[in-house]
């Protein structure tokens, strides 16, 4: 029986968000004679990658093949894995339709799709086995390392969700759209009304790397 002990030490929580670079934004903000909902929709859809948020985790995962008494010394196996993982979330702005972007004389309204996890993975270059203890007569347990890595990803995923990664992705999308609108029409007093959509696990299943 394999037992995984989540001795997770959250040494660092990094959040990496997209930044509207002036050079990249210039390509998106081509001169337009009249601002319209169609133009805004087209520009917003081009910014999908800038809504990405990444949480970085580091933790130690201890795993062992559990055996009773003296058998553990003879046949048991233990391992400690230093796991470095990354959890990405964002909003796919390409899901926006013309019905989600409306513009009148004073107000721009944008209804956002729900945020969702995009990717969950270990950094294999930085993750490594700290220690391994194998009993005298123990045979190799090929699943020991594999299961420890999978367990680490699941723990990092759950911690990212608890820490609010989806809320951060939503806030990042709102900021990106607000900055885009201001850059498109800097002299306007247009009010930007962004309507978020709460994540729905039923309609937004986890990506394969996060399961």
pLDDT (mean) for 63-76? 71
146-187 pLDDT, tens digit each: 999 999 999 999 999 999 999 999 999 999 999 998 888 887
The pLDDT of residue 138: 62
The pLDDT of residue 160: 97
Provide the percentage of residues in the chain whose pLDDT is more than 90: 55
Whole-structure pTM value:
0.79
DSSP codes, 139-197: PP-THHHHHHHHHHHHHHHHHHHHHTHHHHHHHHHHHHHHHHHHHHSTT--PEEEEE--
Residue 71 to residues 74, 76, 128, 144: CA-CA distances in angstroms?
A: 5, 7, 27, 18
φ and ψ of 19, to 5 deg = -125, 135
**Residues whose CB falls within 8 Å of the CB of residue 29, separated by 6 or more in sequence, listed in order:** 43, 180, 183, 184
The pLDDT of residue 174: 94
The pLDDT of residue 77: 83
Residue with tokens 């390509």: 27
CA-CA distance, 118 to 111, in Å (whole number)? Answer: 20
Tokens of 41: 């929709």
Residue 126 to residues 12, 83, 130, 148: CA-CA distances in angstroms?
A: 14, 8, 12, 15
Which burial class, exposed, middle or buried, applies to 39 when counting CB atoms under 10 A from its CB (0-12, 13-18, 19+)? middle
């Amino acid at each position: 029986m394999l037992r995984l002990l989540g001795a997770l030490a959250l040494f660092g929580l990094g959040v990496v968000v997209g930044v509207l670079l002036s050079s990249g934004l210039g390509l998106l903000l081509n001169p337009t004679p009249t601002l319209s909902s169609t133009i805004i929709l087209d520009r917003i859809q081009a910014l999908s990658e800038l809504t990405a948020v990444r949480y970085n985790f580091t933790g130690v995962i201890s795993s062992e093949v559990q055996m009773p008494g003296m058998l553990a010394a003879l046949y048991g196996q233990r391992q400690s894995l230093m796991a470095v993982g990354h959890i990405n979330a964002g909003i796919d702005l390409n899901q926006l339709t013309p019905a989600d972007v409306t513009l009148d004389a004073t107000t721009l309204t944008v209804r956002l799709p729900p945020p969702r996890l995009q990717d969950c993975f270990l950094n294999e270059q930085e993750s490594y086995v700290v220690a391994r203890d194998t009993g005298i007569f123990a045979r190799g347990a090929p699943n020991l390392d594999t299961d420890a890595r999978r367990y680490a990803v699941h723990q990092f995923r759950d911690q990212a969700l608890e820490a609010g990664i989806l809320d951060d992705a939503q806030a990042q999308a709102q900021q990106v759209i607000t900055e885009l609108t201001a850059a498109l029409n800097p002299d306007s007093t247009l009010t930007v009304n962004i309507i978020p959509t709460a994540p729905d696990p039923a309609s937004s299943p986890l990506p394969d790397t996060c399961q």
